Amino acid sequence: MDAPALDSTPGDGTCLAPQPISLGFTATAGASTAQQLDIAMPECVPGLSLSESVYALRLSDPTSVHITASDRSGQGVAVQVRSDTCSGASVACDWADNGAIDRNLSLPAGTWVYIVERRPAGPFTFAVMP
């Protein structure tokens, strides 16, 4: 399977072109959902239509990951983890009204798509650590 195509805007992949990442990834300071598409509808954000930034992590072995995200404003951030694509099986979805997510997750080998949404659209922090 080929790696997902790199989106033309650093730090802001889309469902159509997720940004490939490695374990230990931290989004750039300019990462933002502003001017992004709204394709995904994370199950933990019912009724909200929010643009997203999308990242893809390929794991060759089962791995435990530590996911953190913040909207920098305390108004709301979501991270959904799906297998293979934005429409793949969901394995985790977190919405934080306080704007901060901190989660540990054990994932089998494969490609994992991380969908980050923020209310309102704008800058965020996001990291996937071992």
Q: Which amino acid is at 3?
A: A
Per-residue confidence (pLDDT) for residue 2, from 0 to 100: 36
- Residues 37-85: pLDDT tens digits? 777 777 787 677 778 999 999 999 999 999 999 987 778 899 999 999 9
Give Cα separations from 42 to 5, 11, 87, 111 (angstroms). 22, 20, 10, 18
Does position 118 have pLDDT exceeding 70, yes or no? yes
- Specify the number of domains making up the chain: 1
Q: Which amino acid is at 101?
A: I
Burial code of 25-58, b = ≥16 C-beta within 10 A, e = fewer? bebeeebbbeebeeebbbeebeeeebbbbbbbbe
Residue 9 domain flag: no
Establish if 3 belongs to a structural domain.
no
13 belongs to a structural domain: no
3-state secondary structure of 99: coil
Q: Tens digits of per-residue pLDDT, 81-102?
A: 999 999 999 999 999 988 799 9
CB burial readout 93-111, b (16+ within 10 A) else e: ebbbeebebeeeeebeeeb
How far apart are alpha carbons 115 and 48 in whole angstroms? 14
* CATH number of the domain that residue 47 is part of: 2.60.120.380
**What pTM was computed for the model?**
0.86
- At residue 11, the pLDDT reads 52
Q: Which domain holds residue 95?
A: 19-129
Return the residue matching tokens 């054990």: 106
Number of neighbours of residue 71 by Cβ within 10 angstroms: 26
* Residue 1 falls inside a structural domain: no
